[in-house]
Amino acid sequence: MLHTVNKSPFQNSTLESCLRFISDGDVILLIEDGVYGAVAGSAKSAIVEGAIKSGTEVYALSSDLKARAITNLIDGVQITDYAGFVDFVEKHKTHSWL
């Protein structure tokens, strides 16, 4: 399953909720303000690092990172573009965490 998170983890708990429900083989894509969850050294970085260590693939949308001038990413967070986003949607059922 593809889980998309578009809310900042500093303003609500959608990222934490998503992480509680992921299963093996699931992918998380951080989009819009959700990309703040990919920032290294933040108050929320440990939960994302834990998901990556447990084998979950975590991606952040490049255009949203650029729009927010985010460059310091958690090790293991991968960057994708809109074409990659479309590929994920074609390959996975999608759950949007709003």
pTM as predicted? 0.96
Contact criterion met (CB below 8 Å) for 57 and 28: yes
Domain coordinates of the chain in residue numbers? 2-97
Q: Is 56 strand, coil or helix?
A: coil
pLDDT digits (tens, 9 = 90+) for 22-36: 999 999 999 999 999
CATH dotted code for 2-97: 3.40.1260.10
The distance from CA 80 to its chain's CA centroid, rounded to whole angstroms, is 11
Average pLDDT over the chain, rounded to an integer: 97
